[in-house]
Structure 1
């Protein structure tokens, strides 16, 4: 004859309702990192697209400007517009402009203007405590080139 199940023994072997609890615990443990990963990748993608657009449009405007003064003002306006459109921090955006072949003036007729835009993406929910937001930032860089007309600057 089998021994009768006591209430204490039945409670130890009875698994009724534990699947829902396990599903909730494991779901939360897997869902929270997954949501954070999606937020992080979204922020990096947004800043990458912003840096690429800033470099491309700034190089194009500088290359198509009629002279150096118009190139500088149009380049600054386009850069400010793209930074605002993509929600980038204007203080964190670093822009470098160079020309190939290197001449005393940049841009110059016949040269290739190369615009490099650098910024960094802070991880979501990273506190600015002890500079953690700067330490845990992901650097983003984009570069674009535009050929300047041989007749650039001539009237």
Structure 2
């Protein structure tokens, strides 16, 4: 018998032959899918975080520079609507509060520090709205911004 023919027989009869590629594909998919989901989820959360932070900052700045208290509320609503649209935030899930420091001061008022806080919940992607899972699988996001209102601000 020729030595090369014997080595060919052992390779054909080897039960582990060809399974490395299959193992690589299965293990690769099992590791790749969660990593891709994690990256997508973190991207969604980061985008919403940036939106909430930008909204709080822009609302505080716009209200503190408004002409008077009457127009300040309208400006705040316009800025909030544009931020919700720009960052694709669910309008029903966003909570907006505006406070002035020192406590007890009318808000906004000349000479106070205006603190704007925006809160929302970011739903994780691909979570079905069955049995309230979408509410359970959501991440709370909050941002605050403070802006000093000029002491020469008009209080009409």
- Structure 1 and Structure 2 fold alike (TM over 0.5): yes
What is the number of residues matched between the two proteins? Answer: 150
Give structure 1 regions of 4+ aligned residues with deviation exceeding 3 angstroms.
none
Residue of structure 2 in register with 1:106 after alignment: 107
Residue of structure 1 in register with 2:3 after alignment: none
Deviation of the 1:108 alpha carbon: 0.4
TM-score normalised by the chain length of structure 2: 0.89
Q: Secondary structure at the match of 1:129?
A: coil
Please state if 1:96 is matched with 2:92: no
Deviation of the 1:113 alpha carbon: 0.4
Q: Deviations over 1:3-35 (max 9, x none)?
A: x99x8xx64x44322121111001100000001
Q: Deviations over 1:41-64 (max 9, x none)?
A: 011001100100110000000111
Structure 1 stretches of 5 or more lacking a match? none
Between the aligned partners of 1:103 and 1:152, the Cα distance in structure 2 is 18
Q: CA RMSD in A?
A: 2.0
Residue of structure 2 in register with 1:130 after alignment: 131
Please state if 1:40 is matched with 2:70: no
Deviation of the 1:154 alpha carbon: 5.6
Structure 2 stretches of 5 or more lacking a match? 1-5
